[in-house]
Structure 1
Amino acid sequence: MKTNVLAVDVGYGNTKFAYRAAVGTVATGMFPSLAQYAPARSISGGNGSGFKTRDVTQVTINGTPYEVGPGVSLTAAYGNTGRMLVDDYVLSNNYAALLAGAIYRSGHTRIARLVLGLPVHTLAKFSRELVERFVGDHDFGQGVITIEKVNVIAQPLGTLTYATTLRADRNGASQQHLVVDVGYYTTDWVYVSDFQIDDRRSGGRPGGMSQILQRIAENIGKDQGEAVYDIERIDVCLREGLPFHFYNQDIDIRSYLTDAQQVINDVMVDVKNRVGPVEGIRSIILSGGGADLYRPIIRQTFPRTFIDKLENPCFANANGFLIVGESASRTVH
């Protein structure tokens, strides 16, 4: 099946994708950015066992089979195929496996335009390599995929584009905005005026959700007298409002958030210093998986500026990438 545009946001925390399913309808999907080596055989699910079949897609990258999808175990975050919290993550087999999984799960075998995103501080360094790597015909183990064109944009521009379509009165192109995208590994910010990026007032740095989770784990470990490594489970507990079970105790994660917010404070100091005066900004547009945790600190940092936290902020970039791709396709034609 062919699509004119497929947008894929391969984040450090989750992989999101979006495409036009029908006129006026956008289909989206998401799964953890975890790629684990595929087992030689599986004993899970099926055959009347009573256990659910894991929702995974097997892909092959450079001869190595991987599993990706919602059913991948959280333990895949650790070990040889664990999360790669490094700038050149986009060149890894893990990144390719996640992208391939998103494409297969979207159901498309021919893509006229694939739109990808990169953190602000790595865009210039890796965008060309992404284009060269993925344009053309590929077989990632589930059949040949043809990608005719690849566009790579700064991740926060996806959020800005999406926000503009939602709230044209407040987020119009002729106004000034600060877009803050809180990811798993990085926090990126883009200062935009008349839909042009002011590079001097934009930037990105490590300081996303993973650092907050790590701080919480360290503090729980101090209290318990034993190191805590399972930040993936801490993440789930935070998002779902659940206690963190540690041996025979149920620990309230929220009691550790105050200290962990020092990570956010450090990031916002950098943002404020880089952005400078904000009295002319129409809004701060906030997106990303860590948006809820960052909002109170952003309010303290910029007390008089309107903060626009988008609904479903995890999909803001992917939805924006789709809009950018469709606009580019119309321009070409």
Structure 2
Amino acid sequence: MNALKTHAPVLAVDVGYGNTKVAFRNGSDVSTFMFPSLTPPYKAHTIAKESAGLITTPKTVAVEVEGKRYQVGPGVLLSSRNGDAGATLNDDYCTTSSYAALLAGAFHFANIASVDRLVLGLPMRNFHTRVAHLRGAFAGNNAYGEVEFDVGSVIVLPQPLGALVNFSRYHEFDKEDPHLIIDVGYFTTDWVVATGLTIDEERSGGHHSGASHYYEAIAAVIKEKLHIDTQGIERIDKALRTGATLLLNGNDYNLQEFLPEAQTVIDAAVKAIQAGVKNTVDIRSIVLTGGGAALYRHEIQARFPQLRIDHMADPCFTNVRGFLAAGEATLLRDKKRKEGVPA
């Protein structure tokens, strides 16, 4: 165990299909960071290391899972420009070596060696089938090559619940009437109807479509119109998030001209939400969050014109901040129970 690393009471990690988001307590403040959920095979950057600082070494760590070494961290895109980034987009994602490698990367870059409680999340569509696996997979000692960490206990939450917990701390929250929380993720779009912190499972659900599917549709439009293969979707993601142009074969393109023909992906997801929620006559507001929130906002407002949309600030970190708050609250509750103090 690295003696320079620290102990934290709670670490919250949202291992998403697009990015891995991390939150932990740093004094009275909450520290957050994220890195791409990409796990290409590890490659030693020997030229950069021998260049006396002239060439920057990518900020990554080597993580070993089941005998294979992966490269994980904020600099991983530098080794994945060919479009083969080791992303694993499937419903069994949380059981893969990639997931374990990304979790190890979260501990490494948070500089944390042990926690009393680890909080993780799952999409709504596979929550009930995978929650038991996650609860047991990472409790205790975990060793992944250069990265080692200890976990006292694990709690797993539906991903939109993190946003709900986070939103409940603001004055717009109405604990007497339902809110509709919509979490636009990379691979899935999840929604929860909840009154206070009680979920209406009959009206909550998930759609097998997220921001990545929208990016793929944009890539297809570009290929059809310009006859150019974008070589993956990560740069499309970054361009849309930052408002930048997309460099293709030496030319800068404004992505806005390609968006209308990819709109069907967003339309299908929002229609699924509308069908799942059934009616909105009792809904106080829509809480919109997730990395793809801004992309879906216009269509959501068009489908639910009568409802106010509460757009969470810094939506990429909304879930993981809520996970941290939930972890801290449950840890305090459990401590009081052990001490015989009413919770």
Indicate the TM-score class for this superposition, using the shorter chain for normalisation.
over 0.9
Give 1:231 shift. Answer: 1.4
**CA–CA distance in structure 2, aligned partners of residues 213 and 43 of structure 1:** 34
Matched residue SS, 1:43: helix
Alignment match, 2:273: 271
1:22 corresponds in structure 2 to: 27
Amino acid in the other structure paired with 2:183: D
Specify the alignment match of 1:219 in structure 2: 221
Among residues 67, 72, 82, which one is paired with 2:71 in the alignment?
67
Q: Aligned partners of 2:195 and 2:79: how far apart in 1? A: 43
Query: CA separation in 2, counterparts of 1:116 and 1:91?
Result: 13
Partner of 2:58: 54
Is 1:242 paired with 2:244?
yes
Equivalent position of 2:8 in the other structure: 3
**Deviation of residue 138 (structure 1)?**
1.3
Residues 117 and 220 of structure 1, relative CA distance in 2, 3 Å threshold: same
**For the residues of structure 1 that align with 2:232 and 2:84, how far apart are their CA atoms?**
16
Structure 1 303/75 Cα, relative in aligned 2: closer, same or farther at 3 Å? farther
| 1:162 aligned onto 2:169 | no
1:202-217 to 2 correspondences below 5 Å: 202-217=204-219
Q: Per-residue deviation at 1:63?
A: 2.1
Q: 1:145 to 1:227 in 2, by over 3 A?
A: closer
Name 2:111's counterpart in structure 1.
107
**Cα 1:41–1:252 shift into 2, 3 Å:** closer
Aligned to 2:340: none
Q: Give me the whole-angstrom Cα distance separating, in 2, the residues matched to 1:330 and 1:78.
A: 47
Q: What is the alpha-carbon root mean square deviation over aligned residues?
A: 1.7
Q: CA deviation at 1:29?
A: 1.2
Code of the residue aligned with 1:185 in structure 2: it is F
Over residues 130-186 of structure 1, what are the superposed CA-to-partner deviations in whole Å (9 max), with x where a residue is unaligned?
111101111122353110100001000000101111x1x321333310000000110
Shift of 1:21: 0.8
The residue number in structure 2 matching 1:144 is 148
Distance 1:257 1:280, change over 3 A: same
Q: Say if 2:233 is the partner of 1:231.
A: yes
Q: Distance in 1 between matches of 2:303 and 2:207?
A: 17
Change beyond 3 A, Cα 1:133–1:271: same
Contact residue 165 and residue 197 of structure 2 kept, 8 A: no
> 1:92 corresponds to which residue?
96
Structure 2, unaligned stretches of length 5 or more?
1-5, 336-343
Gaps of 5+ in 1: none
State the alpha-carbon separation in 2 of the partners of residues 122 and 269 from structure 1. 20
Deviations along 1:223-257, one digit per CA (max 9) or x if unpaired, are: 12344433111112212222222224322101111
| Aligned twin of 2:319 | 317
CA distance in 2, matches of 1:216, 1:112: 43
Q: Note if contact 2:114-2:149 (Cα within 8 Å) is conserved in structure 1.
A: yes
For the residues of structure 1 that align with 2:78 and 2:258, how far apart are their CA atoms? 22
Aligned length: 330
Paired letter, 1:112: D
- Please say which of residues 56-65 and 209-218 is displaced more in the overlay: 56-65
